Amino acid sequence: MRFKINRTYALIGFVLALFFFPSSSQADLSEFDVSNSVVDKGMFLSGGPKKDGIPAITEPQFVAAGDVDFLKNHDLVVGIELADEARAYPIQILNWHEIVNDKIADKSVAVTWCPLTRSAVAFDRSIKEEILEFGVSGLLFNSNVVMYDRTHNGLWSQLKMGGLTGKFSSENLTTIPSQVVTWKEWRTNHPATQVLSKKTGYWRAYDVDPYESYHGSPDTMFSIKSQDQRLAAKSLVVGIKMGETVKAYPLESINKLDGKTLEDKVNGQDITIRYFDGKTAVITDKHGNVLSSVVTYWFAWSTFHQKTLVYEG
């Protein structure tokens, strides 16, 4: 392993820096409801921090785009637009919290980010007439963040996009279209956007990327049991599922295209993939509407979608 991950935990009044290599040991599941598990419970691993050791944001504060002085043009944000209300969630904040429980245009949403798989997914927090609040369990499933709901203590997978254990173990979460783009791109297209503030109630070194060396390495943090060899493990792809069809588009392939866009058809529907600076991409339908897709590492996409097609250009 040729990288080291640093995560800084700070308590009000003093700063405590804790440097560690995440454990690959089987997880302690005693704090969660693991009944009705739809996966082998032995597949849950400890990511290092305990339950809520990475604190999800439950009372987010926002600032206007014009008042943001901590983002550079090339910094990435997770952008969501609902009912003409736009919000941006900087990756530099999500690196330290991984989940933001929010409400946009009267819809309860969870904005999630997994640094190890480099994936952002937004969900509707409403399920079966309940509104759930999510926290970070400290567990991993296939190297991906495992959430838990604070009402029932059931476990949920970000990239499986649904419940793993507990009351809602067989339920899928409804995704909300989001896009990972540069701050410049989002601000240009959404000048009235609100931006998640660094006033989170926690002290964190938000200007430091604790995963920089990880993202710069070809190695994964945990071993991969059955790696799909069609692409390198940490090749970036943008993946989409439409009906029963699942397809991944390697960003390096899109990068070679003139105009930095690609048109394709998936499950009979026309889509356009737009590429941004080699870091990310957004998929839209023929009307320009943003579709639910995920930019992530190939090892993660192929693990959760073992029958995925791959664009070969």
Q: Is the pLDDT of residue 157 over 60?
A: yes
Confidence at residue 57, expressed as pLDDT on a 0 to 100 scale: 98
57-96, pLDDT tens digit by residue? 999 999 999 999 999 999 999 999 999 999 999 999 999 9
Is the confidence at residue 188, as pLDDT, over 50? yes
The token pair that represents 60 in the structure block: 């987010």
pLDDT of residue 5: 47
With cut-offs at 50, 70 and 90, classify the pLDDT of residue 277. confident
What was the pLDDT predicted at 287? 95
Residue 35 has pLDDT above 80, yes or no: yes
Q: Which residues pair with 8 in a beta bridge?
A: 17
Task: Express as a percent the part of the chain with pLDDT over 90.
Answer: 82
Cα dist from 205 to 7, 8, 37, 69, 100, whole Å = 9, 7, 36, 15, 18
| Per-residue pLDDT at 260 | 74
- Summarize pLDDT for 111-130 with one digit per residue, the tens: 999 999 999 999 999 999 99
| Tokens, residue 117 | 């798989």
Determine the pLDDT at residue 313. 75
> Are the beta carbons of 251 and 273 closer than 8 angstroms?
no
User: What confidence tens digit (pLDDT) does each residue in 259-270 have?
Assistant: 678 999 999 999
Return the structure tokens found at 84. 């003409």
How far is 221 from 5, CA to CA, in rounded Å? Answer: 9
pLDDT band at 258 (very low <50, low <70, confident <90, very high): low
Residue 9 confidence class, pLDDT cut points 50, 70, 90: very low
Domain ranges of the chain: 6-21+32-189, 224-310
Give residue for tokens 């990288």: 3
Q: Specify the pTM.
A: 0.92
Say if CB 113 and CB 78 are below 8 A apart: yes
